[in-house]
Structure 1
Amino acid sequence: MARSTVLPGIDISRFHAPDADRDDFLTPPAPGEHVSSTRTRPALFVLGAAALLAASVTVPQASAAGRTPTALAWYDATAETIATAGASTQITNSRTWAIGWLAAARATRSVPAGVDRGAYQEAALAGAVHRALVTLAPSRTEQLDAKFKETLDAIPDGPAEERGVAVGERQADIVLASREGDGLGPAAVNAPYPVKPAAPGVWQPTPPDHAPAAQYGNRVAKPFLLRTQSQFRLAPPPALDSRRYAADLAEVRAYGAADSAVRSARQTETATFWLGSSLTLYTEPLRVALSRTHQGIAGQARLVALFHVALVDTQIATSDSKYAYERWRPVTAIRTGAIEPDLGWTPLHTTPAHPDYPSGHTTYAGAAQTVLSALAGPRSAPFALTSPTAPGVTRTYTTWKQLSDENVDARVFSGIHTRSADEAGITLGTNVARYVLHDAGRLLAPR
């Protein structure tokens, strides 16, 4: 096994499970190990106290005359760029985030002698993210150039600004070159999938549209840090003749039906609140963590970079497990399976066009929780979230784990995933993110 490079200041040994019998989480699975979804019963463990991002901690500079701090300004510029000119595929947009902010993290990691630290790092971050975004979203060049000018106008002219911009742009060019041909463009991500003949347990296109399978190409895309796409492939889903499978199906049949008589109004709201893109739903929680960290500009850049690197690699690993097992969705299992088939059963929400196991929403949630807990602490002062799929609804949270728990329940209440698929997703996302954190130093070293 290759030697891991741990990012200085991230103390992996401080991660802990809430119960003494959960020590299996303290050691990441070996490469190629198949990880059973039962390791996360009933849900993701809470990580330990926040680990520092770097040995030297600096407090973010206060904004001048009400100016938004540089890292937050460029975070918002990235989010706006993705919202208005992003790709049609979530992982492609995650890649854009990862490229720009990885370049920023490398560019701000060290400061040359003889220049103002704050000015240099602000210029380096702006130079890196600006260069990456105008390259990947050229239709937004005018708006990004204006934001870049605004940032530089607020930095005193001189060597710190000039050298910071230069290193940021250089690191962006290096990361961009390293990701050419990585298989994460929309066409490659949605490569055609040869549907297998209908058989018990085997995925088939689902109603009402019976659309072709999506994200099949993710499974062969180039990760940022994983050695192979299958490095953390999950153990198989529950057997069709198992009690766990029967319980899963009974739960989603009852609680996930469009006309469910047992799902509460709050549970329906949960399903609808978490229905949209995970990238969209987690943009605000990450911003909350970014705005509340006291790690300085370099630490802020690392937080965003590692979050999105972990999420790209998690989405690749998700498709690897999905298409390794090709498990049918609940709507297919309930309508055509051997357990009390019901041809008229309809889920609350339309089933996405890819296999059930694991849930992509919960792999995303597991990875996001792991990174945020490690780099910003598992708890936060209360923060409010809204959802584009639940207009008028605002929910308040104090831990990242609450987001994960709601994602697990939401996919069952929507009628589109089994609980086993959801819990397995938490396991997979957690394992990938912990690996990324453990080997972060290898990724973040400037080139």
Structure 2
Amino acid sequence: MAHHLAKDQHGSSAAPGPRTAPHPRTTVRVRRTTARVRRTLVLGLTVLALGAPPWASQAADAHLAPRAVPGAGVIDDWSRTAVDVVQTDAKRPGAEQFLWYGFVDAAVYNAVVGIEGRYAEYKWDVRGPRHASSEAAAAAAAHRILLTYFPASQARVDAAYTASLAKIPDGKAEDDGVAFGEKAAAHIVRLREGDGRGAPVTFDKPPAPGVWRPTLPANAPMVDPWLAKVRPMVLDSSDQLRPGPPPALTSTTYTKDFAEVKAMGARTGSGRTDAQTETGRFFGDVLPVQFQAAYRGYVERHGLDIVDAARLFAATGTATADASITAWNAKLTYGQWRPITAVRLADTDGNPATSPDPDWLPLLDTPAYPDYMSGHCTNDGATMKVLSRLTGGDIDFRISSAVTGTTRTYTSAADYNRDVINARVWAGIHFRTSDVVANRVGTRIGAWTLDHFFRPLK
């Protein structure tokens, strides 16, 4: 018997282009037409011969029998396709990817629960036909979202769509499921109109002690500053849970954070153990891609059905979308410099307890955006909180890293959060306070998400 998730008791974008190629469903239908006609003729001859319509008793049995809920294969399939589109084809920055996955996950969730029930829809109150195929609806919703925002990937997306529909029996259930999935996707697209994606936002703080500026190795401007102003998916505003400012440069906290990252985060001559170095490198992979694979693994290991799988992806997807938005809002607002700048320019910070090293480099290359607060740790906190609530605390989170070629399994959210906080310090790219504060904020975002959305129907 399949195991379901424990029910929560708390209750740059592109305009969609015109379709120039035949819809993938057309190809599927053409292949099935002959078989459908043949079945109809045989059934008709049988009725004439026997004098009783065989579907009469079948319909009565179907009415009395409980509805069979499909498995989660279509959810996993479209998670992989979304990663192929957003990461491989479009090559979007990691923090931005969370937003796109959130769109896909929300549309798929509405398409599924709108037919199957069990949980409240996300910012929608429309129900699909009870007989419709929720698998077809999920595929249609994901297909439409990805094609709307990433038309350059049409060949990949259409091929995935054709493959999904080929697994679903042809007929009215499939057709109505597709129609409802398209409707669910259109609703998400409407919700996200004018949400601030790609807006002309820039980081304009002049260089000064404590202020971020482009760093080695790319010396690039801030990545996706517009993300700081995007309308959230579950929160009320991008600054709703923004924390207070980072510690002052002359504070005891900053002095302690500085000394730790300088000693433990250096590329060479650090105080790290081999295990600590491996941890720092492990979490240097593309986090949203790691998360998508980890969610798929959980769904497969625990045999979730399509409804609970859609909920897991949607709750984590929207929570991490808002975690990225909130983290970027703090980065743009406070603009704290990175450890590489702080260590090299320590003689300008006004703190007699810090000393400069003009040649200092971190274990990992520093990404092109301010330090406070850590986007990675904000997303980690949000995901761990959602998973803890959905699973009753036994998160069974199996995550792999292409950087180290290893896999880790976490059964405790606290253990996972501890490791990621340490990892960003040992990698030399964050001050500890930036990680700790971010993780706490992310935890609040995860709780807010399940307090207000994706709740069981009464």
Gaps of 5+ in 1: 1-7, 14-56, 63-67
Q: How does 1:254-403 map onto structure 2 within 5 Å? A: 254-293=263-302, 296-337=305-346, 338=351, 339-381=354-396, 383=398, 385-390=399-404, 392-403=405-416
Hey, what's the Cα distance between the residues in 2 that align with 1:427 and 1:227? 18
Structure 1 match to 2:51: none
What CA distance in whole angstroms lies between the structure 2 residues aligned with 1:226 and 1:335? 38
Task: Give distance in 2, aligned partners of 1:166 and 1:114.
Answer: 9
Deviation at 1:103, TM superposition (A): 1.4
1:417-442 deviations in Å (ceiling 9; x for gaps): 11111101101111122112211159
Matched, 1:138 2:151: yes
| Aligned counterparts of 2:309 and 2:394: Cα–Cα separation in 1 | 17
Distance in 1 (CA, whole Å) between partners of 2:236 and 2:389 is 22
- The match for 2:161 is 148
**Structure 2 residue 10 is the aligned partner of structure 1 residue 12:** yes
Given the alignment of the two structures, is residue 157 of structure 1 paired with residue 166 of structure 2, yes or no? no
CA shift in 2, pair 1:344/1:122, >3 Å:
same
1:435 to 423, 430, 448: 448
- Per-residue deviation, 1:365: 0.7
Larger Rg: 2
**Alpha-carbon distance in 2 for matches of 1:87, 1:347:** 25
Instruction: Select 1:83's aligned residue among 81, 87, 104.
Output: 87
Q: Amino acid of the residue matched to residue 376 of structure 1?
A: T
Opposite residue 197 of structure 1, the aligned amino acid is: P
Where does residue 216 of structure 1 map in the other structure?
225
Output the CA distance in 2 between the equivalents of 1:227 and 1:58.
37
Counterpart in the other structure of 1:18: none
Contact 1:249 1:418 in 2 (8 A): yes
Contact 1:378-1:401 within 8 A present in 2 as well: no
Identity of aligned residues (%): 34
Secondary structure at 2:133's aligned position in 1? Answer: helix
Equivalent residue, structure 2, for 1:410: 423
Contact kept? 2:70, 2:135, Cα under 8 Å: no
Letter in 2 for 1:198: A
2:54 aligned partner: none
Q: In the alignment, is the contact (CA less than 8 A) between 1:310 and 1:367 conserved in 2?
A: yes
Does structure 1 retain, via aligned residues, the 8 Å contact 2:108–2:310? yes
Question: Structure 2: which 5+ residue stretches go unaligned?
Answer: 1-5, 12-65, 117-126
Q: TM-score, normalised by structure 2?
A: 0.76
Gap change, CA 1:11 and 1:164, over 3 Å in 2: same
**What SS does the aligned partner of 1:263 have?**
coil
Aligned-partner Cα distance in 2 for 1:293–1:177: 34
Cα deviation, residue 211, structure 1: 2.1
Three-state SS of the structure 1 residue aligned to 2:272 is coil
- What does 1:215-254 align with in structure 2 at a 5 Å threshold? 215-254=224-263
Q: Which residue is equivalent to 1:193?
A: 203
> Could you tell me whether the CA contact under 8 Å between 1:58 and 1:296 is conserved in 2?
no
User: How far apart, CA to CA, are the structure 2 residues paired with 1:400 and 1:137?
Assistant: 34
SS at match of 1:78: helix
Check the 8 A contact 1:335/1:345 in 2, yes or no.
Answer: yes
Q: Which secondary structure state, in structure 2, belongs to the residue aligned with residue 233 of structure 1?
A: coil
Deviations 1:308-329 (A, max 9, x none): 1111111111111122222221
Cα distance change of structure 1 residues 274 and 60 upon mapping to structure 2, 3 Å threshold: farther
Q: CA shift at 1:125, angstroms?
A: 0.9
Aligned residues: 382
Distance 1:70 1:357, change over 3 A: same
| 1:272–1:389 contact (8 Å) kept in structure 2 | yes
Alpha-carbon distance in 2 for matches of 1:60, 1:11: 22
Inter-CA distance 367–154: structure 2 relative to 1 (3 Å threshold) = same
1:368 to 1:144, Cα distance in 2 relative to 1, 3 A: same
Kept in 2: contact 1:255–1:412 (CA 8 A): yes
Over 3 Å counting, the alpha-carbon distance change for 1:315 and 1:107 in structure 2 is same
Within 2, Cα distance between the matches of 1:163 and 1:127?
Answer: 11
Cα deviation for residue 58 of structure 1 reads: 9.1
2: CA distance, partners of 1:76 / 1:410: 27
Check the 8 A contact 2:327/2:375 in 1, yes or no.
yes
Distance 2:249 2:411 in 1: 38
1:342 partner letter: D
Change over 3 Å in CA distance of 1:208–1:141 after alignment to 2: closer
Q: Which whole-Å CA distance do the structure 2 matches of 1:97 and 1:412 have between them?
A: 27
- RMSD in angstroms over aligned alpha carbons? 2.9
